[in-house]
Amino acid sequence: MNNHLPENSHRPDISLVILCYKAEESIRQFCQKAIEIFTASGIYDYELVLVGNYHENSDDETPRIVRLLADQNPKISFVAKIKEGMMGWDMRSGLSLARGNYIAVIDGDGQMPLEDVVSIYDKIRGEKLDLVKTYRITRGDSLWRKIISFVYNLLFRFLFPGLRSRDINSKPKIFSRTAYEKLRLTSNDWFIDAEMMIQARRLHFKIGEVPTDFLGLEGRISFVRTPTIIEFLKNLLIFRIKEFKYWFWRG
């Protein structure tokens, strides 16, 4: 079970990449809601790209479900491979299949309002921007997660000054195809959102933001744990050094 793309060569105006890791049956409702929101907003030229990558020998039903959804709807494609990394690898595998003039990405766990996809899509087109993302004005998760996010964003702004962006990890994010094709994303882990913004800073992207409300997990465990936090901090330092080297060699 690998991936499935529609047979026609038409390039939709917007591709929505949905990260479905361990979503299982809930992804059916999520996809249906995405379709309803697009239709209600007069957006008909779209595709959904479902990322159902899985760990080998797991009992995760997500790969089977995303395949069924793609078989049932020509506007849906999917990738379902044995995982070779974490969120970054999943996101890159989904983005590589997206064919749209604009490419959005969102987690499929329901924490981020799907209506935001329309908001960022309207903004990127209306203002002719390269990248648009959300920033969270309210959060339904724990105090611990809020503290981690605050400190992380503070460190990011200190290490990468000049990027007028709040809440680096917030999604959904959307790129124009031209902007996306300039990115050289390599992260296989949870740092991929930050890597996007670091490269956007380097490339002088025109960036916009819209406010959002971040919802609770509703019983799902958080994948952000102590090793992930350590990984974030290590990557911040590594990518800061990479940026120094990049600008040094550019003279």
Buried-state track 167-182, b at ≥16 Cβ within 10 A, e below 16: bbbbbbbbbbeebbee
pLDDT for the residue 232: 86
pLDDT tens sequence across 52-66: 999 998 999 999 999
pLDDT tens sequence across 15-28: 999 999 999 999 99
* Selected residue with higher pLDDT from 7 and 80: 80
The correct answer on CATH 3.40.50.300 for the domain covering 3-249 is no
pLDDT tens sequence across 152-201: 999 999 999 988 888 999 999 999 999 999 999 999 998 999 999 999 99
For the chain, give every domain's residue range.
Answer: 3-249
pLDDT for the residue 249: 80
pLDDT for the residue 228: 77
pLDDT for the residue 216: 67
Instruction: Quickly state the pLDDT bin for 217 (edges 50, 70, 90).
Output: low
pLDDT tens sequence across 69-99: 999 999 999 999 999 999 999 999 999 999 9
pTM for this structure?
0.91
